[in-house]
Structure 1
Amino acid sequence: MTSLGVIFQPWSPPERLRETAVAAERAGLDELWVWEDCFKESGVTSLVVALTTTERLRVGVGILPMPLRNVAVLAMEAAMIQRLFAGRARFGVGHGVLDWMGQVGARVASPLTLMREYVPALRRLLSGEEVTAAGRYVNLDRVKLDWPPAVPVPVLAAAEGPKTTALVGEVADGLVLTGGWSADMVRDSVTRARAARSAAGVEGAFEVAVFLMTDFGEGAAERMEAEFDRWEFTGERRYAALGSVEEVTATVREVFDAGATSVLLQSRTDSDDIEGFVANAGRVRELLLR
């Protein structure tokens, strides 16, 4: 089953989160994702606000920087949220932007080692296990949640480079690919992650959430060129869904065909027409269901 949603970016004031979540649910979308970018808006707080504002919408947070969050604390937060909101929350973790991590004294020398230690520990804690770990970055002494989730909590992890992508396939329940990934790049990443997963003998479902830069209407291609420049994207990363609802839908289908299980439409950073964007995203979902 494929899932379509939108992203509430932290360039928008926090006060607009509730109306965006309500609009996304009203538009019939499956998901809303929030971010945790330094030093803008808290991902966990945003997640809870969006969940309390809606009734059925799934809400994802991506990406929570692992260096900033003790694994036991995140497990406690995720477990409580899942128990309160009946499995509607989705969690993505990642390395964090290294410069930001350095600003707060949390930059690690080996992000890959951190992920290899952190994600399995988080998944084990959320499954209700007692966990003892003595790693380079993750150290736990008989830690066990008193209130583990009542239902399984998939842990997704973000990746860009090939080594991280393969590691996500080995240790996580899903892969998050942020903006600027063409359909071909998505396909390559999914293939790499699944191959590593198979080689490691890991079974079970594997999700792939893709952030897809999107702009609707006339002039969308020209407007998106400036957006690509803001993100410093070059070459194949200057990829977006652009134009009419029908044209955007065609690009979304390409990304699903490349292996995405969730596509999250990401508006331009300078766009303030949140309700219009969400309404158009709802029309895309309608076309996908036909």
Structure 2
Amino acid sequence: MTTLGCALLPTFAPQQYLPIARAADAAGLAEICLWEDCFKETGIAAAGAILASTSALRVQLGVLPAPLRNVALTAMELATLDGMFPGRLEPGIGHGVQSWMEQVGARVASPLTLLREYATALRALLAGERLTVSGRYVSLNDVALDWPPTTAPAVISAGTGPKTLRLVGEVADGIALDGGNGMAKLRTAIDTVRTAYDDAGRTDAFKIVISVPTATGRDAAERVRAWLPSWDLPSDEPEEYCVWGDSAEEIADGLRRFAALGADTVNVQPLESEPDPESLVRFLGQEVRPLLA
């Protein structure tokens, strides 16, 4: 069964996060996904506040840019949150948007090498291993967490280009695909990741997470068509990228199309024009989720 969640974009102000998360938790949504875009809200700070303010909601961190953080510090932060809220945090990492990494002086010559070293070390540290490694970007000397998670959380990674997707299939516990991907691109991305996973001889669990831009209400179609150009997406085939409608049945039908690509989790991504995100997550949890189940 595909899990229904909500992707909370950093275009929403920090003061909106907790009311939205509490509404999602009360409505029975399983997951909320945070985005960490430069130079907006941080994922770790928001995750901690949301976890402390809700009772059952899982938080996906989608995603922490590896160039900005030493891997040991990331492992410490994630393990601390997992210790406080066991099983409710799902970390995500990526090699970062290169223009943003350039702005802060953190751009590396080989983002893929960094992501490979970082993901491998992070997963090992969260599994309680003691590491001594000397890589191009990750260097650890006899490092282990004093308080590792009782059960190591899955480490998801973002990816868009084919090289990154193949790497994610090799070294991560899942793939996060954002709302700028259309159906055809999502299908190709998932096939690429799965092929790399198989070629690596893996048999462990692997999670596929898709975020889907979604609008509800009588003006939903107009809002979708106005949103597409802002992401440099074609407006003549909105159904390739978005779901919209005025009823729970319409939204559920649209989300099923994306779930059928093989998604374990479909995160509804509210548009920046969403007038009432709290009502939206209540609608998703109370009316759409039962239809998907």
Q: Where does 1:203-222 land on structure 2 (aligned, <5 Å)?
A: 203-222=203-222
1:222 is paired with a residue of what secondary structure? helix
Question: Does 2:268 align with 1:274?
Answer: no
Counterpart contact for 2:223–2:273, Cα < 8 Å = no
Structure 1 stretches of 4+ with a deviation exceeding 3 A read 234-238
8 A Cα contact 1:186 1:259, kept in partner: no
Q: Output the amino acid matched with 1:239.
A: Y
- Segment of structure 1 superposing worse, 34-43 or 165-174: 34-43
The structural deviation recorded for 1:186 is 2.4
Identify the match of residue 248 of structure 1 among 230, 247, 251.
Answer: 251
Whether contact under 8 Å (2:215, 2:274) holds in the other structure is: no
Offset, 1:80: 1.2
> Using the alignment, how far apart are the partners of 1:231 and 1:257 within structure 2?
24
Could you state the TM-score of these two structures normalised by the residue count of structure 2?
0.94
Q: Take 1:92 and 1:234, find their aligned partners in 2: how far apart are those partners?
A: 29
User: How many residues are matched?
Assistant: 289
Secondary structure of the 1:212 match is strand
CA distance in 1, matches of 2:254, 2:151: 34
Question: Offset at 1:34?
Answer: 1.3
* Aligned residue identity for 1:279: R
How many Å separate the matches in 2 of 1:250 and 1:128?
42
Aligned partners of 2:89, 2:61: CA distance in 1, in Å? Answer: 8
1:102 aligns to 2:73 (yes or no): no
Partner AA of 1:230 in structure 2: S
Match of 1:24 in 2: 24
Q: How far apart are the structure 2 equivalents of 1:254 and 1:122?
A: 34
Give the secondary structure class of the aligned counterpart of 1:249. helix
1:284 corresponding residue in structure 2: 288
Q: Which residue of 2 aligns with 1:149?
A: 149
Is contact 1:6-1:278 (8 Å) kept? yes
Q: CA deviation at 1:233?
A: 2.2
Is 1:239 aligned to 2:241, yes or no?
yes
Counterpart-to-counterpart distance in 1, 2:68 and 2:150:
26
Corresponding residue for residue 193 of structure 1: 193
Report the 3-state secondary structure (helix = DSSP H, G, I; strand = E; otherwise coil) of the residue aligned with 1:140.
strand
Partner of 1:14: 14
In 2, distance between residues paired with 1:284 and 1:36?
27
